[in-house]
Amino acid sequence: MTICKALTIAGSDSGGGAGIQADLKTFQELDVFGMSAVTAVTAQNTLGVHGVYPLGAVALIAQLDAVGTDLQPDALKTGMLFDQSCIKAAADRIRHYRWRNVTADPVMMAKNGQPLLQPDAVRTMIELLFPLCTLITPNLPEAAALTGMKDICGMDRKREAARRLHAMGPTYVLLKGGHDESDPSVTDLLYDGEAFIEFSGTRISTRHTHGTGCTLSAAITAELAKGATVPAAVATGKAFVQAAIEDALHIGAGQGPTHHGAFRRRLQEGIVEQGVESIC
Ligand SMILES: Nc1ncnc2c1ncn2[C@@H]1O[C@H](COP(=O)(O)OP(=O)(O)OP(=O)(O)O)[C@@H](O)[C@H]1O
Ligand SMILES: Cc1ncc(CO)c(N)n1
């Protein structure tokens, strides 16, 4: 049996809904072999982030070299990178191993506002990581921090933000719409420097959206690993996260995780369509 392989470079979420745990569950659900390089361990649950324990660049490089010298990923994503040294290490190893199909989810804070990236690392991410990326997937607060735009509301401002983000070097920008409560169709906007494509769903009224961004970017990464185009990968990713939110598990006392097994169940029931046939 051959299988496509995907790598996540991200933080660990002990609560299991976001970070490395969400990414590996998503890779597995989409029939891709998942690998990980951990940047930091967080003590986290549905009530919030209770501690952040960075592993440091030396430990990150060791993990990336272990993967790079033996198991080449067909696609990779970055999530919580924590600080400048981790961003530099990740960018350096991505270049060294000539890894392609790179998606950066520019994680800056958890849904309840706790910081997951040091403020002085934002510029490093733009300068060193974005030019290596096939896709970046900022949410609206991240897009504001990256572009310096104060309020990004309405489609015109979203398009302007996407243009500015695209000028930072990635091939595609996906501006996520989860934080725009005024949009009932929760639209994510994809831009390749020429055309805009809107991916809409149905906004679910729920507090259980912990890790939606991680899950979306992991699903896109899995599809890219299997050989999908970026628009096709985003379409599958959006369907995956929509199903995961709709079938939420209602566990924990706070902002709960999504259900990573929901998309597979819908596939089996014929409710959603399979992504690409794997090329591996
Ligand atoms: N309430 C909702 N109903 C349906 N889809 C949603 C909802 N909230 C978010 N989404 C979708 O989930 C995905 C992630 O979007 P969001 O903007 O929430 O990311 P995020 O803030 O980076 O997530 P997180 O930080 O929790 O990982 C997007 O595809 C978005 O459209
Ligand atoms: C480890 C980690 N990565 C990303 C997020 C964003 O959802 C989170 N809450 N925790």
- The identity of residue 153, as a single letter, is C
Token duo for residue 145: 């921090």
- Using alpha carbons only, give the angle 266, 25, 89 rounded to the nearest 5 degrees: 140
CATH 3.40.1190.20 fits 5-263, yes or no: yes
CA distance 72 to 195: 32
Closest CA to 87 of 146, 35, 9: 9
Nearest CA residue ID for atom 22, ligand 1:
213
pLDDT tens digit sequence for 35-84:
999 999 999 999 999 999 999 999 999 999 999 999 999 999 999 999 99
Which ligand is nearest the CA of 40, by number?
Answer: 2
ipTM here? 0.98
Q: How confident is the model at residue 273 (pLDDT cuts 50, 70, 90)?
A: confident
Asked if the model's pLDDT at residue 32 lies above 90, the reply is yes
CA distances for 259 relative to 43, 73, 97, 234, 275, angstroms = 21, 25, 34, 18, 19
Tokens of 261: 């097994």
- The catalytic site residues sit at 176, 209, 211-214
- Give the pLDDT confidence of 96-122 residue by residue, as tens digits: 999 999 999 999 999 888 999 999 999
CA of 275 to the centre of ligand 1 (A): 20
